[in-house]
């Protein structure tokens, strides 16, 4: 594939990104960054609709692991002091990596993306209007919905990418970029 034939794809993705940033404030979305975690994840995971359920499970699982980390590190702090968070993260990281051996829950990078993003959302002050909330369980829902928005954007832009490239006369394996070829070996 040539750069010239790929320019319309880049323009389409850029237009979707700009449109999202422009429309989001009208939809009262103050955490503009969250969908940009799961949007590229769709492509990292192979841009296949058949893998969407695994991406959804993994993103939800990462959020749940994030919440459980907060909960259990709080419970363990009296016994472990400053080591409680590290001990809890150790256990969670171990479990996430072990999930790679399962069929439906193997997408470990997505767990870690959502896990880290959830911490930024609730602790880093990057939740916009949610930043003042101390109810970490309530923060799970809007964070998850924003991640689902990102997956939706990934799905739509992948479909449009295929259609644009077909219109350019690029089909099948010829539609793959260097990233696609290296990622799917």
The lowest-confidence range among 28-42, 59-73, 110-124, 170-184 is 170-184
On whether residue 179 sits in a domain, the answer given is no
Number of domains in the chain: 1
The residue among 83 and 123 whose pLDDT is bigger is: 83
On whether residue 161 sits in a domain, the answer given is yes
On whether residue 175 sits in a domain, the answer given is no
Strands (E), 21-175: none
Measure the CA–CA gap between 47 and 24, rounded to whole angstroms.
24
On whether residue 74 sits in a domain, the answer given is yes
Q: What is the DSSP letter of 32?
A: T
What confidence score (pLDDT) does residue 80 get? 96
On whether residue 94 sits in a domain, the answer given is yes
The contacts of residue 10 (CB under 8 Å, 6+ apart) are none
The pLDDT of residue 42 is above 60: yes
On whether residue 16 sits in a domain, the answer given is yes
On whether residue 183 sits in a domain, the answer given is no
On whether residue 122 sits in a domain, the answer given is yes
pTM of the model: 0.91
- What range defines the domain where residue 116 resides? 3-24+35-170
Q: 88-127 pLDDT, tens per residue?
A: 999 999 999 999 999 989 999 999 999 999 988 988 766 6
What confidence score (pLDDT) does residue 182 get? 85
What confidence score (pLDDT) does residue 116 get? 95
CA distances from 181 to 4, 13, 24, 48, 118 (A): 19, 20, 33, 14, 31
């Amino acid at each position: 594939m040539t750069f010239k034939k790929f320019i319309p794809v880049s323009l389409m993705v850029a237009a979707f990104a700009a449109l999202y940033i422009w429309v989001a404030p009208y939809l009262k979305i103050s955490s503009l960054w969250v969908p940009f975690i799961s949007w590229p994840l769709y492509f990292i995971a192979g841009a296949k609709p058949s893998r969407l359920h695994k991406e959804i499970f993994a993103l939800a699982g990462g959020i749940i692991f994030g919440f459980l980390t907060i909960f259990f590190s709080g419970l363990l702090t009296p016994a472990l002091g400053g080591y409680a968070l590290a001990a809890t993260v150790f256990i969670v990281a171990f479990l996430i990596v072990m999930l790679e051996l399962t069929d439906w829950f193997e997408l470990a990078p997505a767990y870690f993306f959502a896990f880290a993003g959830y911490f930024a959302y609730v602790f880093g002050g990057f939740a916009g209007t949610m930043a003042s909330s101390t109810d970490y369980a309530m923060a799970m829902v809007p964070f998850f919905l924003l991640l689902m928005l990102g997956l939706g954007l990934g799905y739509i832009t992948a479909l449009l990418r295929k259609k644009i490239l077909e219109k350019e006369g690029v089909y099948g394996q010829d539609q793959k970029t260097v990233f696609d070829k290296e990622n799917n070996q």
